Amino acid sequence: MSLRFILGRAGTGKSHTCLEGIRQALHKEPAGNSIIFLVPEQATFQMERALVNLPGLAGTIRAQVLSFRRMAFRVLQEAGGASRPHIGELGKRMALQALLIKRTDDLKVYNRAARRTGFVEQLARTISEMKSYRLSPGDIKEHYLRLKQTGGEDSLLAAKLHDLACLYADWEEWLKNRYIDPDDYLNLLAEKIPESRLIKGATVWVDGFAGFTPQEYHVLGALLRAARQVNVALCIDSRDVDRELEETDLFYSTWETYHKLRKIAEDNGIPVAEPLILDRPGKAPFRFALSPELAHLEREFFRYPTCPFRGKVEGIQLVAAADRRAEVEAAARKMISLCRDRGYRWREMAVILRDLEPYRDLIETVFGDYGIPYFIDRKQEVSHHPLVELLRSALEIVTTRWADEPVFRFLKTDLVPLERGEVDHLENYVLAHGIKGEIWLREEPWDFNYELAWEENGTETDYEERKLAAVNAAREKVRHVLEPFYRRLNREKLTVKEICKALWDLLAALKVSERLEEWRLEAEKQGDLVGLQEQVQVWNGVLELLDQMAEALGEEEITVSQYAQILEAGLESLRLGLIPPAVDQVLVGNVERSRHPNLRAAFVLGAGEGIMPARMGEEGVFSDKERSQMRKEGLELAPTRTERVLQEQYLIYIALTRSGEYLWLSYPLADAEGKALNPSPVVNRLREIFPALEVDFAPKEPAGEEDLEFVVNPNRSLTYLINQLREVRQGKPLSAVWAEVYQWFVEDEKRKEDFRKLVKALNYSNLLKPLPRELVQKLYGKPLRSSVSRLETFAACPFSYFASYGLQLKERRVFGFEAPDRGVFFHRALKRFVEKLQQRSRKWGELDGEERRNLVLEVVEELRPWLQRANLLGSARHDYIVLKLRRELELAVEILTEHARRGSFVPVAVEMDFGGEGSLPPLRLPLPEGEMELRGRIDRVDWAEWEGRHFFRVIDYKSSPADLRLEEVYHGLSLQLLCYLAVVLENAEKLAGSPAEPGGVLYFSVYSPLVNESGPVAEEVRKQEIKKRLKMKGLVLADMDAVRLMGAREKGETSYLIPVRINRDGSLGKASSAASREQFEMLLRLVKERAQKLGSRIVRGEIVVAPYRRGQESPCRHCRYRPVCQFDPLAGDQYRFLEKIAGDFWERVAAELEGGEANGL
């Protein structure tokens, strides 16, 4: 029995000495006592490979590479002590979650946190920490009682200790006679080592540790007593071991480890041999024999005063990159250069990071593009694996009673027997109709149809029937899979075992194992060894998780919601431990976790401020102050934040001394959003030590002299070349380097065709050529059949018209009662109201308040079946919507009744169709290329007669405030009302038996306006204000007879019914929105002329992306097709600026109609 230390700074050959000692022992005595190489868990694979590759060894069964945990498995398997099954991390978290739920009401500080996602993991880590530091529940309780006796019972620390003592004790009690906690393995190992043949007389080599936990020291003490010799390699300057070091010293942690191990040996009467000193004063460490710069760096980085390096610096490169992507790309180019020009192998290089997460996705993308084989050394989360999502969403379907979001998460896992197309069509249907709850389980087919809900005689086409049949077929597959599962779990209380069994049966019914096997074989076929391991480990991990839940909590009664909470705790901790799939690859890892043996080149990325050294936060449930307080009273736990900050300098030392020939250190100047980032203090320190070291800049794109450095890989070079060609289009010359690259792609047989397509795409502009005439006729018909609102769409932007009515693109409809739905409802409701008056031979003006309200109620009730067909009923929210609609309809009817009482216009038609199968013929307009037929539906046509004169006015219902702006009419953006008036006047004899004059065109807004007042107002005043807000807007005939027929009679007042003011002399005021008969006729000619020109452009196939712009107003703001047209003014796309009409509008229109001037349409 003896202890020997192997001491030396980084690169002095400590690991090499351990391996050489093992090799010599095996060569001398192949079948002797055990040789154990004890290393950190994450280093076992590399060291096993190093052991296998020792020269002169064909193989061995005597030497083994073990971690502390692996050693525990081996010894307990051999010597006993593991009679109970062990509970894995997943089972531990789930059991703790269950204990938390039970204990919640007794907790003082964690009662709220108990249900917070992630808290159970924090609790598990805290219990593991306590066990690592050999603290029992009794120790925690004793400290709590001491605090209580000294008056500190009300402190936050006392409350935490109380809760932790309870939960820790609950955990230990729960484990009794059930399981072994893996955190207890090292204590059991220390007890069983004296009985182990594996350890007795063994030679133990310990390497790769800077320090140990109390549990590990306990094991090392047992090893010292049982083994023949224990050799411990420590990274420390051998001259420091006999000095008293401060906490701020670089090697303080290993110095402390050295003295703790010596004391354990001395306390046990075990001799400590003379240490093997590997430092060679005056000579470069073994690792840095070929690089004087790196040897100087290792020696001087933490030494003050600084001794600068005199001479040219070749083995170190310092790089400032434009951003993280530019940083990773520059490192990738350098790696390829080292392989190509200096014969490096991929395995001889590594990427070392202090914080892996900001770089992980970038490295995966960039290294993939450059063809660099790599392995990212991390425990991979599986929270988004389809199998994990399947379990999570299946339980959520039960707890949310078929909410659509978990249903479609479940269906999109690709583990359900539905094709993606079936899932998409089903999702569209469900979202459009707001389907939730047990509607999914109905045996009868779904027949909701939003499109036909408002059609009184609507029938489904063959296509719609087939589409609905497909939706029902897909729904039936879902029901077949999920209904048995849902029925089994849709109960108040179940046991954990019952829920686990239901999940097992669901996985079996879906044949998930077979599907994952298909994915595994596909990964194997494609050479994706990581993907291959992933499918196996996830399946085994999930099965183990369910097994442990069933075994650990089997007969516990629980709700599905509580089960899901416990399961989530297990899924969150499920990690994949992937083995590097290839030998020759770049290892990417965190300096704190990864081990990088035999490196020639190290790429240290992300050397930014706050990253290297890392900013430290408080970890676990205790603050630094609380940890310090407990330590003073004998409760030692993990290091405080201050102590961890001091340990950062050791990690920096490790990162900078990993390679033997070349060190790359880089940092980004900006983050992904362009925010400036500062370099790490490490950068300034390097420049102090190496005054001749220049900072190279890594740009995002090639820039002049560095062009050739970017030509290292065909894929990435092509990307850079395209960017160079884009700049050529803007007038920048193409450099000679990129001209040669261009020629190479042109001549390369494999790539020239794809290159040609890319160059063609580069010359793309957002100018769309007109459609061929034949295609126009197929899309829009011959003659052109359209509507006025469609022409207005074309006037706003031709491409929008093409996308909507040519391509018939539609947004995915999401269930809800939006503004268009309100508009349809009010149109139908007002039509029904008028029909009821006609059926009862009643007039608007004769209705009293009660009769109006009763009629409105009848109308709303009659429209309920249509609401039902659209699935807009059935919830409290939608009942409220119906009530609100009824009140708004009552207000609208009240205003229209006022119009009828004060005026003489009466409705002669409501919802009147023209064109198609309507009661009136279409509005036909000649075009140079044929004819255009306009069809539409007029909300309401009113008629009045006075002294032999007949007047028509057209009213259009709107669900929000609207007005007629003459400038919009001029530019073709507002043609509808006037076109409708033209149709009515052309058919006046059919409607009223004689020709008629235009009475007006008006918008009537149906909504509940908000009345803002600074204080209380009388009800009558409020009603008058509402009436003013609901005044009809538009344009009326400037004729006092017509105005009086519309109810405006009071002289010297502004009408609250129509947009006019009557002067005291009985004439119309200037503020009136009125036009003479001649002006109306001009407008009617103008709108027809505008419609003809728009129709002619449609027939010519115009589909250009040309939205109008008037001030800040543009149709792009609310356009559904912007993602399709890609309109971007910054990329050169142009708005079509509308002319602001100066001077008198009517003179401008008259001049244009007489002279036929172009108007920009």
**What is the pLDDT, as a whole number, of residue 1079?**
94
Residues 263 and 306 in one domain: no
User: Is 1119 marked within a binding site?
Assistant: yes
Q: Which residue has the higher pLDDT, 1068 or 570?
A: 1068
Q: What is the pLDDT of residue 91?
A: 77
Return the pLDDT at 979. Answer: 96
5-9, 119-123, 840-844: which is most confident: 5-9
H or E stretch covering 135:
none
The answer on 161 and 244 residing in a single domain is: no
pLDDT of residue 766: 76
For the chain, percent of residues with pLDDT exceeding 70: 92
Q: What is the pLDDT averaged over residues 329-347?
A: 92
Looking at residue 96, its pLDDT comes to: 84
Residues 90 and 565: their CA atoms lie apart, in Å, by 13
Per-residue pLDDT, 1161: 60
Condensed to tens digits (0 to 9), the pLDDT of residues 488-524 reads 999 878 998 999 999 999 999 999 999 989 888 887 7
Peptide bond into 613 cis (omega under 30): yes
270 lies in some domain: yes
Residue among 961, 979, 960, 959 nearest 969 (CA)? 979
- The enclosing domain of 44 has a CATH number of 3.40.50.300
Nearest to 334 by CA among 762, 709, 849, 739: 709
As a whole number of Å, the CA-based R_g of the chain is: 41
Residue 452 pLDDT > 50? no
Structure tokens at 867: 């609401």
What's the chain's average pLDDT? 85
Domain identity same for 303 and 367: yes
Q: Which of the residue ranges 464-468, 626-630, 766-770, 819-823 would you say has the lowest mean pLDDT?
A: 819-823
Give me the number of domains the chain comprises: 6
pLDDT at 461: 62
Under DSSP, the state recorded for 429 is H
Last residue of a domain, one of 243, 261, 283: 283
Q: Give yes or no for residue 455 having a pLDDT over 60.
A: no
| Amino acid at position 1089, single letter | E
Question: 1133: exposed, middle or buried (C-beta count within 10 Å: 0-12, 13-18, 19+)?
Answer: middle
Q: Is residue 907 assigned to a domain?
A: yes
- Taking alpha carbons only, the member of 692, 807, 733 closest to residue 312 is 692
Do residues 549 and 606 both lie within one domain?
no
For residues 757 and 773, state if they share a domain: no
State the amino acid at position 401 in one-letter form: R
Q: 767-796, pLDDT tens digit by residue?
A: 888 999 999 999 998 889 999 999 999 999
18 assigned to a ligand binding site: no
Q: What is the mean pLDDT of residues 163-174?
A: 88
DSSP state of 804: I
- CA pair distance 220, 261, nearest whole angstrom: 8
**pLDDT band per the 50, 70, 90 thresholds, residue 1011:** low
Q: What is the pLDDT of residue 889?
A: 87
Identify the pLDDT of residue 454.
47
Q: Which residue has the higher pLDDT, 573 or 640?
A: 640
What's the rounded mean pLDDT across residues 1056-1082?
Answer: 91
- Are residues 902 and 1012 both part of a single domain? yes
**DSSP letter string over 171-230?**
HHHHHTTT-B-GGGHHHHHHHHGGG-TTTTT-EEEE-S-S---HHHHHHHHHHHHHSSEE
Residue (of 852, 707, 792) closest to 1098 by Cα position: 792
Of 1094, 581, 1066, 1080, nearest to 798 by C-alpha is 1094
Stretch 535-561: mean pLDDT? 83
Mean pLDDT of 1019-1035: 82
pLDDT at 837 over 90: no
C-alpha to C-alpha distance for 781 and 505, rounded to whole angstroms = 56
358 inside domain: yes
Q: Which residue is associated with the tokens 């805290």?
A: 126
- 100 found inside a domain: no
Instruction: Kindly report the CATH number assigned to the domain that includes residue 550.
Output: 1.10.486
Close Cβ partners of 398 (under 8 Å, ≥ 6 residues apart): 485, 486, 489, 490, 560
Q: Could you tell me if 284 and 295 are in contact, meaning their C-beta atoms sit under 8 angstroms apart?
A: yes
If asked whether residues 1159 and 1047 sit together in one domain, one would say yes
State the Cα–Cα distance between residues 17 and 207, nearest whole angstrom: 10
pLDDT at 52: 82
How many other C-beta atoms can be found within 10 angstroms of the C-beta atom of residue 631? 12
| Single residue among 713, 743, 762 that ends a domain in this structure | 762
Lowest mean pLDDT, pick from 23-32, 723-732, 982-991, 1100-1109: 723-732
- Is the confidence at residue 989, as pLDDT, over 50? yes
Residues of the chain with pLDDT > 90, as a percent, come to 34
pLDDT mean over 96-101? 83
3-class DSSP state of 74: helix
Neighbours of 875 (CB within 10 A): 12
For residues 493 and 606, membership in a common domain is answered with: no
Which range of residues forms the domain containing residue 833?
765-1161
Structure tokens given for 676? 């400036």
Q: Between helices 876-902 and 849-869, what is the axis angle to 10°?
A: 140
Contact 862, 832 (CB under 8 A): yes
**Per-residue pLDDT, 336:** 92
Judge if 225 and 138 occupy the same domain. no
**How high is the pLDDT of residue 642?**
76
Q: Most confidently modeled of 730-739, 867-876, 1138-1147?
A: 1138-1147
pLDDT exceeds cutoff 90 at 999:
yes
Let me know whether 23 and 117 are in one domain.
Answer: no
1034, amino acid identity: G
Nearest to 535 by CA among 576, 582, 581, 504: 576
**Distance from C-alpha of 301 to C-alpha of 684, rounded to nearest angstrom:** 11
C-alpha span between 394 and 353 (Å, rounded): 39
| Domain co-membership, 743 together with 820 | no
Query: Picking from 312-321, 703-712, 947-956, 1109-1118, which range would have the lowest pLDDT averaged per residue?
Result: 703-712
Q: Is 1116 annotated as a binding residue?
A: yes
- How far, in Å, CA of 65 to CA of 46, rounded? 10
pLDDT of residue 841: 85
Residue 94 falls inside a structural domain: no
Mean local confidence (pLDDT), 71-98: 79
Model confidence band, residue 4 (pLDDT cutoffs 50, 70, 90)? very high
Cβ 647 vs Cβ 630: under 8 Å: no
Asked if the model's pLDDT at residue 1144 lies above 60, the reply is yes
Q: Are residues 533 and 595 in the same domain?
A: no
Residue 285 has pLDDT above 60, yes or no: yes
With respect to residue 58, please indicate whether it lies within any of the assigned structural domains. yes
Per-residue model confidence (pLDDT) at position 1022: 74
- Helices 714-729 and 752-762 cross at an angle (nearest 10°) of 30
Q: What is the pLDDT of residue 747?
A: 83
Place of tokens 């998780």: 545
Residue 98 lies in a domain: no
Is residue 462 over pLDDT 80? no
CB 860 within 8 A of CB 889: yes
Identify the burial level of 1054 via C-beta atoms within 10 angstroms of its C-beta, where 0-12 means exposed, 13-18 middle and 19 or more buried. middle
**Residue 1010, CB half-sphere, CA atoms under 13 Å: how many?**
3
CA dist 413 and 395 (Å) reads 14
| Residue 797 is assigned to a ligand binding site | yes
On whether residue 93 sits in a domain, the answer given is no
Q: Which of 470, 461, 478 is nearest to 425 (CA)?
A: 470
Give which of 649, 580, 548 is closest to 376, Cα–Cα: 580
Determine the pLDDT at residue 434.
80
* Among 832, 841, 849, 858, residue whose Cα is nearest residue 910: 832
Euclidean distance between CA atoms 931 and 777, whole angstroms: 12
DSSP 414: S
Domain stop point among 522, 553, 576: 576
Lowest mean pLDDT among 225-234, 622-631, 683-692, 907-916: 622-631
Nearest 5°: phi and psi at 396?
-70, -30
Q: What's the maximum distance between 2 C-alpha atoms anywhere in the chain?
A: 130
Angle at 224 between CA 222 and CA 230, to 5 degrees: 135
> Residue 826: its pLDDT value, please?
84
Strand partners, 945: 950
CB 124 within 8 Å of CB 207 = no
| Per-residue pLDDT, 1107 | 93
